[in-house]
Chains A and B, each alone.
Chain A
Amino acid sequence: MTRLVARRVLRTVPVLLGVSMLIFLSIRLIPGDPALILAGDRATGEMIEQLRTDLGLNRPLSTQYAIFVTRALAGDLGVSIRTEQPVTMELMRRYPLTLLLAGAAMLFSVAVGLPLGILAAVHRGRWIDKTSVIVALLGVSAPTFLVGIILQLYVAVRLGWLPVTGSTGWQHLLLPAISLGIFPVANITRLLRGSLADVLGEDYVRTARAKGLPESLVILRHALKPALIPAVTIVGLQFGSMLGASVFAEAVFAWPGLGRYLVQAIGYRDYPVVQGAVLMMALTYVAANATVDLAYGWLDPRIR
């Protein structure tokens, strides 16, 4: 297992180099002087010159990239054009909120998707199965921002049960987390329904039934574990893609996380922030996917 972990972690190194290079290059692709772009319109000539020396903008691209990586590794992602605060500090304030949102959404999707998938597989063809199919279909078809607005309209505005926007208490977390979690609910349900139905047809399940075990034990103790493997993979991969979708949930509910900050930064042409926020999200995405691979190896000894 240690070797597996080491190998998987090593594999992320070239990927991370590529990711940082893409983000580094993207700013250089914007037409205009990078010093001016990274310093902003309000910067004085002196500040721009300072930045030019700091980032090595007069030196070859490879040197500039080396400077960028060295600084990023030391936690220095530059200074926000709009607030003139260090980007790292600004990101760190918002990052936990995005993780909290994605974590809550994942919890919701597992809490709903798992039982729904199991019930659907066990009661194949009955109303609960048909409901799960419709839920799954709507769930994959309704984009996060649409689910968010519909929840906001009916639960917050009409019924007044939960706040419309904000981030001061757990009540504020519920609606964004649910809207972000709907898509994974659909995926988990669909996948678990399929894989559990397959496992329930296996011989050893029939043996377990034949020796008189109650059906609930047959499912929970014998059938569920192998059926969970594809579902776990999907949950993990969903966590990664939820980072992307969190941008929408945060926009609808004014949740002050990384995604909303990124979109605002694009509006202000605050490129150091854009660069930092994208880097942060990509790092998390890569880490989440590596974790999924490892969890997969742990659950299924065959692929180690």
Chain B
Amino acid sequence: MRIAATAERTDAAPAPARWWMYLRRDRAGLVGLVLLGGIIAAAIASPHITRYDPLEPSLSEAFQTPGGGHVLGTDQLGRDLFARVIAGARASLLSGIGALAISLLIGVPIGLVSGYAGGTWDDGLMAAVEVLMSFPGVLLAILAIAVLGPGQRNLILAVGLASIPVFARLVRGSTLALREQEYVTAARALGATPSRIAIRHVLPGCISPIVITAVLRIGTTIVTVAGLGFLGLGGDPALPEWGAMLSQGQEFLRRAPHIALVPGVAILLTVLSVNLFGDAFADALNPRLQPNRR
């Protein structure tokens, strides 16, 4: 009986409130959410949390172990690792979101046109997408960097390009299903233009899978950005970027392993929290798992 009552109540609630109701019951998802919230807060407040400058070298203080005057120690140039790692949180999250935005901005329209227009448009666009999918994502990003040149902005663009196929195919699939719906036929009968139908009537129906996939992709995106930074393709190595920090720390594994471990743990915690939250979020939005999924 209680189950039925819950179902009734949640159906009446607006979407975000309903998601929260499911999310709240998922302990792993909550842990992820709290962790992620902390990381985002640190990223936003990063310039104000510590008095140390993430870029200012201080050779007399180099290689300090965590715990002393510097909470997480200092690196080979005496830069404060706590200041660098939270500045890096900002860079990582922004690059991850930026890359995701690029793949959405290009991938979603491709999928929409491909699925709704069909015919030659569909064939051509999907052939292009299939070519992009013939590369491992990382390799595509590396090729893009080779063309664009290293640098933070190019890196974001490159990683974004690599995820375009994911969204293009997703949106195409949803569009194909939606375009046969009666309300779309009705809109067509009323004389709405194809672009209006695609944007006003079909696209809203694709939002939920797009959001779920985007959230689940954040982890991959952040890892790819950090990975390319690790390979030295992110541009200025002095900037506090987790991948580049890790790569510099690798040189001092014997003498001062914390220089590598601090950014390493930061990457792991971020991706872990994003994945935990992402899985829970996808479950909460999945109508097949509702209302009582456990």
Contact = CB atoms under 8 A, between A and B. Distances in A.
B223 interface: yes
Interface stretch (A70-78, A106-114, A147-155, A213-221): A147-155
Interface in A129-173: 137-138, 140-146, 149-150, 152-153, 157
Interface string B144-179: 111100100000000000000000000000000000
A244 interface: yes
A201 interface: no
A278 B134 contact: no
A4 interface: no
Contact of A15 (B131, B137, B226, B243): B131
Contacts of B147: 26-27, 29-30
A131 to B, nearest CB: 15
Given A266-B142, A282-B139, A247 B231 contact: yes
Given A141-B275, A266-B142, A278-B143, A244 B136 contact: yes
Nearest to B268: A142
B198 interface: no
A121 interface: no
B9 interface: no
A263 B142 contact: yes
A184 interface: no
A137 B272 contact: yes
Interface stretch (A17-25, A51-59, A174-182): A17-25
A29 B161 CA distance: 15
B19 interface: no
Interface residues of A, number: 46
B253 interface: yes
Interface string B114-132: 0000000000000110111
B232 A22 contact: no
B272 A247 contact: no
Interface in A179-193: none
Interface string B231-269: 111000000000100100110011001001100100110
B253 A15 contact: no
A257 interface: no
A127 to B, nearest CB: 17
Nearest to A19: B134
B272 A263 contact: no
Nearest to B274: A141
Contacts of A243: 136, 139
Contact of B136 (A143, A252, A271, A281): A281
Contacts of A60: none
A26 B272 CA distance: 35
Contacts of B227: 143-145, 247-248
B134 A282 contact: yes
Chain A CB count within 10 A is highest, among B223, B233, B275, for B223
B55 interface: no
Given A26-B143, A244-B139, A266 B233 contact: yes
Contacts of A247: 138-139, 142, 227, 231
B135 interface: yes
A180 to B, nearest CB: 12
Contacts of A140: 219, 275
14 contacts: A15-B130, A15-B134, A18-B127, A22-B132, A137-B275, A141-B275, A142-B271, A145-B226, A244-B135, A244-B139, A245-B136, A278-B146, A285-B135, A285-B136
Interface of A: 14-16, 18-19, 21-23, 26-27, 29-30, 137-138, 140-146, 149-150, 152-153, 157, 240-241, 243-245, 247-248, 251-252, 262-263, 266-267, 271, 274, 278, 281-282, 285-286
| Top 4 A-B pairs, shortest CB-CB distance | A244-B136, A18-B131, A244-B138, A141-B272
